[in-house]
Amino acid sequence: MLSRMTAPVRRRMVWLLAGNVGLLLLIFACLMPGDTVPGAISRLGTVLVDTPRNIAPEMLAAIGLTAIIWTGAIDLSIGSVMAVGGAVFAMGYSHGAPPLVCFGSCLLAAGGLVAGNGLLARWLGIPALIVTLAGLAAYRGLALVLVNVGVPGFDGNLTVPEDIFRVPGRDWAAWFLLFAVGGAVWCELFGRLPRLWLAHGSSPAACRLHGLDLSRLAFSAFLFGGFYLGLGATLYVSNQQTIDPARMALGFELSVIAAVVLGGTNIFGGEGSFLGTLLGVVFLYLARQALIYAFDDPHARQAVEGALILGVIGFDCVLHRTAHRMEELK
């Protein structure tokens, strides 16, 4: 698998691995003052135990988005798509549907919308960026309409007190994550489609010359992305006690894109790795945890996190441009 990755992706993964270890040490150092070593280790253990639950939605959405970005497309509407998933879940819950039906409908709604984005881009022949930028506003509005119409007495948010609804997102999150990430990595290791998605992003003209159906390829990436994002939406909803479609997963797309790009996936497509995305998500999560200890002010944390994301994406663009120039010079 490593041999099929490009050198920049491999380098990025090594760097991320070292960065993650460094962040863990930083968090540990932040926990030390005022505590004993065993106490600090115990608190660090708590942070680590909570990690799968906290990162599962972002991780799954990031893997789905990675596949889409590989083809040279993007989905900017994923935060709003999750809100629609939440709204559908709320409708089912408020009408007394069993948990399985609520979660299933959430998964189908969110996944279906992402796949629908792929279809729209294919049928309308316009870039996915435009389609999903429109979806960013449209789906958020759709989520609010759905809860206002479909949830009796909805007053801005819906509380879900029953513990049974939190089992997938809280108790089973690590297992979901393990199987979903394992499946994605298996696909990358042994599947043809991920390589074709990369080929699509690398050179559509070459794919066309080899007789590949580009629109079908792009749609298959959106379908894959839809499944993972639907699963992520389900775990996200399941991990919340209240459903608030107006604020749910607001700005989620930005941090997911940042994690994907940080993981070595080229924002213009054609290059990347699911493993890199995994490390990118973990890096951003640990950085956020470290910021909690470094800054008391939540607004300052947000500002630093935003700057970090911007820096990462900007850095990748500069790297990409440099590589492109070198290619031209050759």
Partner 1 sequence: MSTHASSSSGSPLLELTGVCRSFGGVVALQPTTLAVVPGEILGLVGENGAGKSTLIRLVSGVLSPDHGEISWQGRRVALDSPRRAIDLGIATIHQELEYCGHLTVAENMLLGERWPRRWGGRIDWEAMRAEAGHRLLRAGCEVAADVEFSRLTAVEKQLVAIATALARDARLLILDEPTASLAAPDARRLIDHLKTIRDSGVAIIYVSHRLDEVLELSDRIAVLRDGELVHLSEADALDGPDLVHEMVGRPLQQVFPRTRDGSSIVDGPSSTPGNVLLRVENLSRNGMFEEVSLDVQAGEVVGLAGLVGAGRSELARAIYGLYGPDSGTMELLGRPWQPKSPWDALEAGLVYLPEERKRHGLVADHDVSSTLAIGIRDRLTRWGLVRGAEQRRRVAEMISAYDIRCSGPGQLVGTLSGGNQQKALLARWLERDPRVLILDEPTRGVDVGAKAEIHSVVDRLAAAGHGVLLISSDLPEVVGMSDRVLVMSRGRLVAECRGETQTERDVLQAAAGLSSTSREADGC
- Per rule CB under 8 A, count of chain residues that contact partner 1: 26
- Alpha carbon distances (Å) from 57 to 46, 49, 104, 196, 253: 19, 16, 15, 26, 12
Q: Which of 59, 60, 142, 198 binds partner 1 (CB under 8 A)?
A: 198
Question: How large is the C-alpha radius of gyration of the chain?
Answer: 20
Nearer to partner 1, 70 or 139 (CB): 70
Query: Minimum Å distance from CB 198 to partner 1?
Result: 6
Residues 6+ apart with CB under 8 A from 326: none
Query: Minimum Å distance from CB 78 to partner 1?
Result: 25
Q: Which of 24, 138, 185, 212 binds partner 1 (CB under 8 A)?
A: 212
Cα–Cα distance measured from residue 214 to residue 7, given in angstroms and rounded to the nearest whole number: 26
Residue 1, both tokens = 């698998």
Other beta carbons less than 10 A from residue 296's beta carbon = 8
Query: Minimum Å distance from CB 192 to partner 1?
Result: 5
Query: Minimum Å distance from CB 214 to partner 1?
Result: 12
Q: Does 2 bind partner 1 (CB under 8 A)?
A: no
Cα–Cα distance measured from residue 29 to residue 35, given in angstroms and rounded to the nearest whole number: 11
Question: Up-side HSE of residue 270: CA atoms within 13 Å toward CB?
Answer: 12
Nearer to partner 1, 36 or 205 (CB): 205
Q: Which of 20, 157, 202, 302 binds partner 1 (CB under 8 A)?
A: 202
Interface pattern 257-276 for partner 1 (x via CB under 8 A) = -------------xx-----
Nearer to partner 1, 72 or 86 (CB): 72
Q: Does 216 bind partner 1 (CB under 8 A)?
A: no
Where in 311-330 is the site for partner 1 (CB under 8 A)? Answer: 327, 329-330
Of 2-10, 130-138, 285-293, 310-318, which segment contacts partner 1 by CB under 8 A? 2-10
- Alpha carbon distances (Å) from 288 to 8, 192, 278, 310: 25, 35, 16, 15
Q: Which of 96, 153, 163, 205 binds partner 1 (CB under 8 A)?
A: 205
By the 10 Å C-beta count (0-12 exposed, 13-18 middle, 19+ buried), 325 is classed as: exposed
Query: Minimum Å distance from CB 69 to partner 1?
Result: 13
Q: Does 199 bind partner 1 (CB under 8 A)?
A: yes
Question: Up-side HSE of residue 139: CA atoms within 13 Å toward CB?
Answer: 31
Of 130-138, 188-196, 244-252, 304-312, which segment contacts partner 1 by CB under 8 A? 188-196
Closest by Cα among 230, 226, 89 to 146: 89
Nearer to partner 1, 297 or 328 (CB): 328
Sign of the alpha-carbon dihedral angle for 307, 309, 312, 316? negative
Q: Which of 95, 195, 216, 321 binds partner 1 (CB under 8 A)?
A: 195
Query: Minimum Å distance from CB 326 to partner 1?
Result: 10
Look up residue 289 and give its amino acid: Q
Nearer to partner 1, 199 or 258 (CB): 199
DSSP letters of 84-132? HHHHHHHHHHHTT--HHHHHHHHHHHHHHHHHHHHHHHHHHT--HHHHH
Query: Minimum Å distance from CB 323 to partner 1?
Result: 9
Binding site for partner 1 (CB under 8 A): 3-4, 6-7, 189-192, 195-196, 198-199, 202-203, 205-207, 209-212, 270-271, 327, 329-330
